[in-house]
Amino acid sequence: MSSSIATTRFSVLDRSRTREGHTHPEALRDTVRLARELEGLGYHRLWVSEHHGVPGVAGSAPTVLAAAVAAATRTIRVGTGGVMLPNHRPLVVAEQFGVLESLFPGRIDMGLGRSVGFTDGVRRALGRDKEDAEDFEAQLRELLGWFRGTSPTGVHARPAEGLTVPPFVLAMGEGAGIAARAGLPMVIGDFRNREKMRRGIDHYREHFRPSPWASEPYVVVSGTVAVAGTPEEARRLLTPEAWAMAYSRTHGTFPPLPPAERVEALAMTGKERGFYESGLTGHIAGTEEQVAHELETVLKETGAQEVLVTTSTYDREALLDSYRRLAAITSG
């Protein structure tokens, strides 16, 4: 099985990351502005995410944000990466995507995950617990049933019933098997553990069952890609997120992104330094030539039909420059 950059779709997941000294509303507006730029660069999709109670992430209501993005663009596909189905009633999710598809026909994607709130406090606020994630497969069947009008309750999900909104399963943990059994496209990451990624993809393809939603397997690989004029500049793009991850692992909260120069000047503890250095490794980062080579390797190993890029950094102009350079690579 072979694939290449020239025949692969490239898309972006933006989590509306907040930056030090900037507000959550600014982060949300940044996502909308980024969507317009990505559309002009020829990216296939822009997806938004669902996080609750996280200081460093403004994206808490993905279907609402997706509506704003779709209204501000014309051609790029818009969706979620994803709606965390255990946090919601499937009927309500179907109705929300039915509204989105009705307003922006042919442009909406329904990416679905199985995570619940990150902390006990968030889970209590959502009225959920960790065990709710175990019901994801049944919730997924119910959700898809609302679109096909097969609910045994006698209730009809309007305006969702009869509409086709492409569903995707975010394949964390058991997600690959769930996506295969449901016959749905699968999103799997990340680039830092390619052996695990390949095992998940192999399992998915081996056990895939054709469905009304997909006749054959469709694989989206996801991860961080940073492109700059030099390898050092590309590494600096990764610095704010790497520090935020290190801080969350040592302090229990995920902070807004700091400028790279502030991170580089920090006196880190040994534990912080270990998490930080780990957070800088395994991503696809470098010059155009280096990134093109790495992407070709990943695509050859996985046979993926699409790459979903998830890069976050403090400097929004540098991030946009990275996406411009990546678009130049992928457009040939």
Residue tagged 């959920």 (tokens): 128
> Max alpha carbon distance in the chain (Å)?
62
Q: What pLDDT is stored for residue 55 in this prediction? A: 85
Kindly state the tokens that stand for 292: 């093109």
Q: What is the CATH number of the domain that holds 148?
A: 3.20.20.30
Query: What are 114-167's pLDDT values in tens digits?
Result: 877 666 677 677 766 666 556 899 999 999 999 998 877 788 999 999 999 999
Number of other residues whose CB lies within 10 A of the CB of residue 193? 13
The pLDDT score that the predictor gives to residue 190 is 83
Q: Which two tokens stand for residue 138?
A: 């049944």
Q: Which residue has the higher pLDDT, 300 or 331?
A: 300
In a domain, 98, yes or no: yes
* The last residue of a domain, from among 170, 186, 204: 170
Residue 23 confidence class, pLDDT cut points 50, 70, 90: very high
Contact in structure between 27 and 326 (CB atoms under 8 Å): no
Q: What local confidence, expressed as pLDDT, does residue 2 receive?
A: 44
Residue 304 belongs to what domain range?
Answer: 224-332
Amino acid letter at 275? F
Q: What is the pLDDT of residues 177-196, one digit of tens each?
A: 999 999 999 999 888 888 99
| 109 and 7 share one domain | yes
Residues 149, 236, single domain; the answer is: no
The Cα 18–Cα 37 span in angstroms is: 19
Q: Are residues 288 and 148 in the same domain?
A: no
Average pLDDT of the chain to the nearest whole number = 92
The answer to whether residue 197 is domain-embedded is no
**Six-digit token string for 26:** 């600014």
Confidence of residue 212 (pLDDT cuts 50, 70, 90): very high
Same domain as 257, residue 162: no
State whether 154 and 284 are in the same domain. no
pLDDT tens digit string along 220-250?
A: 999 999 999 999 999 999 999 999 999 999 9
Of the candidate ranges 31-45, 62-76, 162-176, 298-312, the one whose mean pLDDT is the lowest:
162-176
Q: How far apart are the first and last CA of the chain?
A: 21
DSSP E strands, the chain: 9-14, 45-48, 77-84, 108-113, 167-170, 186-189, 219-223, 225-227, 284-286, 306-309
Within a domain: 179: no
**Domain contains 191:** no
Count CB-CB contacts under 10 A for residue 131. Answer: 9
Total structural domains in the chain? 2
The pTM assigned to this predicted structure is 0.94
Same domain, residue pair 164 and 73: yes
pLDDT above 70 covers a percentage of the chain that reads 95
Do 9 and 154 sit in the same domain of this protein? yes
Same domain, 132 and 228: no
Same domain, residue pair 245 and 164:
no
Confirm whether 279 is domain-assigned: yes
Answer yes or no: is pLDDT of 89 > 60. Answer: yes
With bands split at pLDDT 50, 70 and 90, how would you rate the model's confidence at 253? Answer: confident
Pair 62, 130 in one domain: yes
Q: Which residue has the tokens 């096909």?
A: 148
DSSP 17: B
d(CA 76, CA 109): 11
Residues 32 and 152 in one domain: yes
- Which of 140, 170, 200 represents a domain boundary (last residue)? 170
User: Which residues have CB under 8 Å from 298's CB, separation 6+?
Assistant: 191, 194, 221, 284, 304, 307
Single residue among 129, 147, 170 that ends a domain in this structure:
170
For 180, how many CA atoms within 13 A lie in the half-sphere containing its CB? 14
User: Is there a single domain that holds both residue 13 and residue 116?
Assistant: yes
Q: What is the pLDDT of residues 301-327, one digit of tens each?
A: 999 999 999 999 999 999 999 999 999
